[in-house]
Amino acid sequence: MPNPQATVEASAVPESLTADVRIYEYSQAADPIASGATPPIPYTDFPATLHQTGPSRIIPLDLSGKLKRPGPLTSPGLAASFVRILPGESVETAPNASSELYYVLRGRGITRFGGQDIPWTQGDILTLPSGTGATHTAEDDAAFYWVHDEPLLRYLGARAAEPTFNPTLFRAEETLAELAKAAADPEAVNRSRISVLLANRTCDQTLTITPTLWAMLGILPIGAVQLPHRHQSVALDLIIDCQPGCYTLVGKELGEDGRIIDPVRVDWKPASVFVTPPGEWHAHYNESGVEAYLLPIQDAGLQTYLRSLDIRFYTED
């Protein structure tokens, strides 16, 4: 038991060392989300119209106001943006981030990073480590979906000084060929989803695309229902392509019948993004008559490394 008599005289302690002290009774602070100290992550969607017109620019998908943190950010640890680049023009990016991911929504061009020219075209995925910044130049009308972990480093007061992986390009023809192979597998009908996880060889423990980021390229077949699942990572879901009739149901609780109680419905739209909060049950439906494609990006690389992802699936008996 500490002995208060053993402490130094109060007058000997500078006020600056004690000005920020707060002490809470445990039950009042153990769940800061329930108490209101930590804002919950909201259901939000960002339409494709944001990147379809206008000048070359970065378009942050910013929720900093709702999350009461310095922005831009889309989740506590990640920032997502659309990047629009007109033909012959360039956009520079230089976040204080350990990991960046670019999905090419349309167009083709070259990214200059670390003295290297990296070509890209529609459907490619480029991941970049920390560095001195990148210059992206479009040959024709182009757009990216861009996600990075600068908000996490900002929260920690850290600088991304050392790269932890090499620049890596996932070519569209290769990833789509692997996805088609997964779909053609006779066992696909028995799996919870038809998808491929994109990984980097340096992430041999987490099996993720970067040390912090997780990415899955998936197909939602005609008439498919992906049964409810949940995880503690935030999902920033890019809908690559779909037709009306594709949607996600999201909710906090799951009934005994496997249905989400009082769900929020998020209708899918091509080349658009929506946010799925952590820890909430969600299920995907395709009632459109056409296959749909999606690319969820999560902070699950970090969550997996910390052994805290806690992914769960509802299974029918």
pLDDT in tens, 244-294: 999 999 999 999 888 999 999 999 999 999 999 999 999 999 999 999 999
Instruction: Decide which of 115, 148, 169 is a domain's last residue.
Output: 169
pLDDT, residue 35, reads: 85
Task: Please report whether residue 5 resides in a domain.
Answer: no
What is the rounded CA–CA span in Å between residue 272 and residue 288? 17
Question: Based on the structure, what is the number of domains in the chain?
Answer: 2
Please report the pLDDT score of residue 121 as a whole number. Answer: 98
Mean pLDDT of 135-153: 98
Res 192 pLDDT > 80: no
Residues 77-105 pLDDT 10s: 999 999 999 999 999 999 999 999 999 99
Query: Mean per-residue pLDDT for 181-196?
Result: 87
Cα(first)–Cα(last) distance of the chain, in Å? Answer: 53
- For the domain that residue 191 is a member of, what is the CATH number? 2.60.120.10
Domain span at residue 246 reads 172-313
In this prediction, residue 132 carries a pLDDT of 86
Same domain, 285 and 184: yes
Does any domain span residue 13? no
Residue 215 lies in a domain: yes
Q: 294 phi and psi, to 5 degrees?
A: -145, 160
pLDDT at 33: 86
What per-residue confidence (pLDDT) applies to 2? Answer: 61
Do 181 and 309 lie in one domain? The reply is yes
Looking at the DSSP assignment, which residues form a beta bridge with residue 44?
275
The alpha carbon of 25 is separated from its chain's Cα centroid by a whole number of angstroms, namely: 34
Instruction: Please write the tens of the pLDDT for every residue from 9-50.
Output: 666 889 999 999 999 989 888 888 888 899 999 999 999 999
Q: Does residue 202 share a domain with residue 131?
A: no
Q: Is residue 33 one of the residues assigned to a domain?
A: no
User: What is the separation of C-alpha 292 from the centre of its chain, rounded to a whole number of angstroms?
Assistant: 19
- Of the pLDDT bands very low, low, confident and very high (cuts 50, 70, 90), residue 190 is confident
The answer on 83 and 119 residing in a single domain is yes
